[in-house]
Amino acid sequence: MSVANVSWESDLSKIFASSVNQQSLEEAAELIVDVTRDDLEYHNVFINVINQGIRAVNNGDKRVISCINKSGYKVNSLKQALDLLLDFKEIYLREFDQSK
């Protein structure tokens, strides 16, 4: 993920394509925490990208569906995309807190 000039669409696609593939959200969160636990800047970028995706869904931006569908997860609506992003964020933050 890019740190400067974060492109939420590109970075959200990368998160889902590389981390949230065929495994559960819990397993994907663990993989990401393995990196972010020792890199607070990367943690902040990750949270920012997820939050930007959530804002985009709330603004009716259907590009989020395409970003998520680059993974093993498939969503067909903005509601499904929002639910998935909120679940992923919650699981990630729980895993991140437990890693400290």
Residue 60 covered by a domain = yes
State which residues form the domain around 42: 8-99
pTM to 2 decimal places: 0.90
Give the 3-state DSSP-derived string for the chain, with helices as H, strands as E and coil as C: CCCCCCCHHHHHHHHHHHCCCCCCHHHHHHHHHHHHCCCHHHHHHHHHHHHHHHHHHHCCCCHHHHHHCCCCCCCCCHHHHHHHHHHHHHHHHHHHHHHC
Residue 64 covered by a domain = yes
Residues 6+ apart with CB under 8 A from 12: 49, 50, 52, 53, 64, 67, 68
Residue 85 covered by a domain = yes
Mean pLDDT of 9-35: 90
Mind listing the pLDDT tens digit for each residue in 55-86?
Answer: 999 999 999 999 999 888 899 999 999 999 99
- Checking if the pLDDT of 5 tops 80, the result is no
Residue 57 covered by a domain = yes
Residue 2 covered by a domain = no
Residue 78 covered by a domain = yes
So what's the pLDDT on residue 2? 43
How many separate domains does the chain show? 1
